[in-house]
Each structure stands twice: as structure tokens, then as C-alpha cells.
Amino acid sequence: MDRTRKIQINKCDLSKCLRENRNSRYDSASSGVTHYNGYRGKIHDIWHKRGDEKFFPDWLKEIKKNRSLIKGREKHLKITTPYVVTHTCVVELIFKMCKDLKQPADTRYRTVELFDRFIANQFIDLMKAVKKKQNQLAEWNNNIPRVSNQALLRVISCIQLASKYCAHSSIVSPKVAHIYLIKRGQNHSVQNILTSEIRVFKSLDFNIGVPTLLVFVDILLPLIREYVHDKIYTVCINMIDIVYLQRHQIFKKLSDKIISNWQQSHSDKLSFSLYEFDGLYCGAACITSAVEIYYPNDKDLVLAVNNKLADFVERPSNDILTFSMILLQTIGMT
């Protein structure tokens, strides 16, 4: 079988896996998390029923049991923790690339999640390979330039996968990716771009359906429909952007508030991860801070929204307010 034929088969396999991955919609019957485009219509219906929880289907209530943002990252936990690899400057790059490629918000958030998981996997695999060599330091140093040179290619591979999963009309094809990389001084062939996409997809165990923070915000918003204007959604998107762009700074401040110890132990950090990777908790804080921005002179409304969200999220309202306050401080609103 010639090389062209192999590439054609790989393209078919990739398309098939992506369709199966997307159509599974997180296996909504068991996980309670439905794909963004899949539940969008249901969210719209619930939104216009004034957020009464009696209208919420079972899959939405199931989200309480599947609220973790660590899904798909379990094997990292003994070596690294989820979302500690990707630096803010890389998130900024991903956001800019997604903007250049005219991708929606869900694609840029999913790209960050996918790239972070891929980089963590790559680090683990590289460490395993290096440990088998005699001169480990030299082997490690030899691999660094290769990994660095492929970084932009890997980012765009994650954007390609995310754009396909989100079922958006502007899917980033290998040809589009090739043209974009050429403009940025990266001369990768269409064949190399396709191979990279398959490599990343395989590294992620063909699982790109992990929930992003936007999923949880979309789920929570109908709860407060009776309190806020529809335009609050745009402010929520801005707050999600802040969480992704300033994640390390935000959660460092939050951990200092929740864990009073100056020197935090490993057990303290594991305990804090229940806050950091709780998608409903983070989503509720984004919404509360958005309401505070949109209605700056209505503290009673902010408290009413916060209490409503706290009841559903099953977190103390003060914890959500604390997180919300840190978000507002990050953008200079307090």
C-alpha cells in the first residue's frame, strides 16, 4: 500500500472517530453533559420558561454528579495536575489564532483544554522515553528543539479538532491550516498537518468531548432567566475569557482565601482541587461577576442571583461571592 493510500485511510478513520466522538455527546444518559450544539435548543427552551427548575430535564440535573473539569486528565494526577502546563502567553496565542480563523468561543476554550492535555501527555511520554536512555540529560536536550518547533503545529491541530467537534460551519481544514501556518512562517505541508492532527487525536485517547467552562455557564444561565437581561450572556463570555487567560493568578488568590495555611501541603492542594476543577462552581462565579458588572447598583439582585445559583450548585453562597470578587479584582472592578 503506497503512502497516499495510507493518508486517505487515516483521513477516513479520523473523520469516523470525530463523528462518533461528537455524536456520543458525552454519553448524556450517564454523564449528564450534552454537547454544546446538542443541548443548545433545549437551553433556549428552558431559558424562555423563566428558569423554573421543574422544566429541567434529567440530564441537566445529572450534571451535579459530573461537574468535574478533570475528565480526560485522570492519568496526569500522579505526575502533574490538570491545567498547569499551559502558560498564559500560550492561551493568549490560542485565543488570537482562533480569532484569526473566525472560530466561536466554544472552539477557543476547547482548544485550550485539548492542547493542555496533549502537552501533559507529551511530557509524560517523553519522560518515559528519556528514562530508558543512558545519557538522560543529553537525550532530553536533544528533544527540546523538536518539541518547540512543532508547538504551533500542535496548537493548530487542537484548533482543527475543536472546530470539528463543535460542528461549526467554519471547520479548520488542513488546507486552511496550511495557509495560516505559511503566513506565520511555518512551512508545514498539508500531509504533515493531517499527520499532526491524527497524532494529537490519538494522544488524547480519541476523547475530545470533555466539558469546557462554557458548558457549565450555559447550563446555569436558565436558572436566573427571571432576574437578568439576555445580554448578560456576552458579559459571561468575557468573564470566562478572564478565567482562561488569568487562571493561575485567579486560583492562587482563591486558594489563599480558602486555605489559610501560608505553606500549603500536598493534601491542601488536593482539597483545593475540589474547588478549582468544579465546573458548576466556576460557572456560577462567572455568572455572578457578570451580573455585578451588568447591574452595578443593584446589590439585592446580585445576592438573589448568587443565592439561586448556590442552591443549585450546592456550594455556600459566600464561596461563590469570594470567587466572583476575585474575578472582579482581576479586571480592576473593585
11 belongs to a structural domain: no
Return the higher-pLDDT residue of 133 and 203.
Answer: 203
Confirm if 280 and 223 have CB atoms less than 8 A apart.
no
Residues 89 and 186 in one domain: yes
Cα distance between residue 67 and residue 65, in whole Å: 6
Is 154 found in the same domain as 206?
yes
| Mean pLDDT of the 287-298 span | 94
Indicate whether 244 and 187 sit together in one domain: no
In a domain, 54, yes or no: yes
Per-residue burial over 160-176, b if 16 or more Cβ lie within 10 Å, else e, is: bbbbbbbbbeebbebeb
| Domain end point (choices 191, 210, 229) | 210
* Shared domain check, 316 and 218: yes
**Whether pTM exceeds 0.75:** yes
The pLDDT value given to residue 289: 96
pLDDT tens per residue, range 99-125? 999 999 999 999 999 998 898 888 888
The answer for 87, left when phi > 0, alpha when psi is -120 to 50, beta otherwise, is: beta
Q: Is residue 8 part of a domain?
A: no
Task: Assess contact for 156 and 195: CB atoms under 8 A.
Answer: no
Which of 190, 210, 230 is at the close of a domain?
Answer: 210
- Percent of the chain predicted with pLDDT > 70: 70
Poorest-confidence range of 82-86, 98-102, 157-161, 298-302?
A: 82-86
User: So what's the pLDDT on residue 223?
Assistant: 87
| 93 and 170 together in one domain | yes
Q: Are 196 and 254 contained in the same domain?
A: no
Q: What is the largest CA-CA distance in the chain?
A: 70
Give me the domain span that covers residue 25.
17-69+211-334
Same domain, 101 and 152: yes
Here the CATH number for the domain that contains residue 180 is 1.10.472.10
| pLDDT surpassing 50 at residue 50 | no
| Pairwise CA distance, residues 334 & 328, whole Å | 6
Report the half-sphere exposure of 232 (CA within 13 A, side-chain side): 26
Instruction: Please list the residues that pair with 278 across neighbouring strands.
Output: 68
Identify whether 189 is part of a domain. yes
Q: Are residues 288 and 307 in the same domain?
A: yes
Q: Is residue 196 part of a domain?
A: yes
Q: Do 133 and 196 share a domain, yes or no?
A: yes
Residue 60 sits in the same domain as residue 121: no
For residue 6, name the pLDDT band (cuts at 50, 70, 90): very low
Position 67 scores a pLDDT of 62
> Residues 147, 245: one domain?
no
At residue 314, the pLDDT reads: 87
Residue 7 lies in a domain: no
Res 299 pLDDT > 70 = yes
Instruction: For the chain, give the mean pLDDT.
Output: 78
Give the rounded distance of the alpha carbon of 201 from its chain centre. 16
Q: 151 and 243 share a domain?
A: no
Euclidean distance between CA atoms 100 and 82, whole angstroms:
27
Instruction: Select the highest-mean-pLDDT range: 122-131, 214-223, 320-329.
Output: 320-329
Beta bridge partners of 68: 278
In the chain, the number of structural domains is 2
Judged against a pLDDT cut of 50, whether residue 80 lies above it is answered with no
- pLDDT score of 153: 95
Our CA angle for 181, 184, 186, nearest 5°, is 55
